[in-house]
Structure 1
């Protein structure tokens, strides 16, 4: 059987793309519909808050963070996800700039509220957040949200 044509579930572990393994593992602790819905809102809010707080510290701190994030996403070798994350990054930076002087207050509020909801979602799920075992899952969360959105559009990245 050609492993490239085999469904993801039947492929040998080594033939699966790294991004597919990361998303599958992340998805194991995000199966409850309420937890999933919370993450779809909270993850973008948290990402916006991080970029916003860094921008309030110094704009170049925010640019360095998003550049580092995009390097991580590029290393996953998924052109579709890289394009989505480039667009997501552009949107985050546009929102941060639009917030102007309110960026710090809004960002801190979003950060605190977003994390509260994330932990509520994991309490409902009954499973701990993935990043407790590996910090790279903090970067996988946005990919999970992007993947859910792409799937709703009928696109498999």
Structure 2
């Protein structure tokens, strides 16, 4: 049984990091996860939702709901940054779903980006030698974008305390020796 999806950001990041310590895997996630979020934006942008008298496409509705979740995990900077990156991906996705775009083209872009994103993810997990985090806990699908944004922020010098605690609990990043994977 999966733990609560309403855990603090640090707990979520530690759990996700336990599946992502190989630097090659983390690098693939910088491409794969944005592609998947972008693809979801494309695929959901044509579905219109009526909410309080306002028409909203399903991509932006999902963005709003996920943003509420990110902002309530206890790390305002990480939540805001993740919401902003996801908003940029949703905005970039909209033209690929526009009414002027043929249905075939819309589906090709959406499904194509989704499949390519997941292929890149699975290549990373080959290097890691572990299954993706969402296999054990579906909340990993939400944590993935937060993890990538967090890794980018850590690289820029933000969140040193959070990074230290992640590494204390999940271990440091490394390059797994593929010639001796059990060593």
Task: Tell me the TM-score range normalised by the shorter chain.
Answer: 0.7 to 0.9
Mark the CA change 1:103 to 1:84 in structure 2 (over 3 Å): closer, same or farther.
farther
Q: Distance in 1 between matches of 2:107 and 2:158?
A: 36
Q: Distance in 2 between matches of 1:85 and 1:34?
A: 21
Q: Distance in 1 between matches of 2:92 and 2:14?
A: 30
User: Unaligned 5+ residue runs, structure 2?
Assistant: 1-6, 49-55, 163-183
Q: 1:120 aligns with which of 123, 126, 147?
A: 123
1:137 aligned residue: 140
Alpha carbons 2:8, 2:73 under 8 Å: kept: yes
Deviation at 1:97, TM superposition (A): 2.5
Q: 1:69 aligns with which of 63, 66, 73?
A: 66
Alpha carbons 1:56, 1:103 under 8 Å: kept: no
Normalized per residue, the structure richer in strand is: 2
Q: 2:34 aligned with 1:44, yes or no?
A: yes
Classify the secondary structure of the residue corresponding to 1:56.
coil
Instruction: State the number of aligned residues.
Output: 141
Bigger CA radius of gyration: 2
1:29 aligned residue: 19
Q: Distance in 2 between matches of 1:57 and 1:112?
A: 21
TM-score normalised by length of structure 2: 0.71
1:19 aligned residue: 9
Q: 2:46 aligned with 1:56, yes or no?
A: yes
TM-score normalised by length of structure 1: 0.82
1:97 aligned residue: 94
Q: 1:85 aligns with which of 82, 85, 88?
A: 82
Q: Distance in 1 between matches of 2:26 and 2:108?
A: 27
Deviation at 1:103, TM superposition (A): 4.3
Normalized per residue, the structure richer in helix is: 1
User: Unaligned 5+ residue runs, structure 1?
Assistant: 1-16
Q: What are the Cα deviations for residues 82-138 of structure 1, in whole angstroms up to 9, with x where unaligned? A: 210231132122202333425432221110011112112112211111111111111
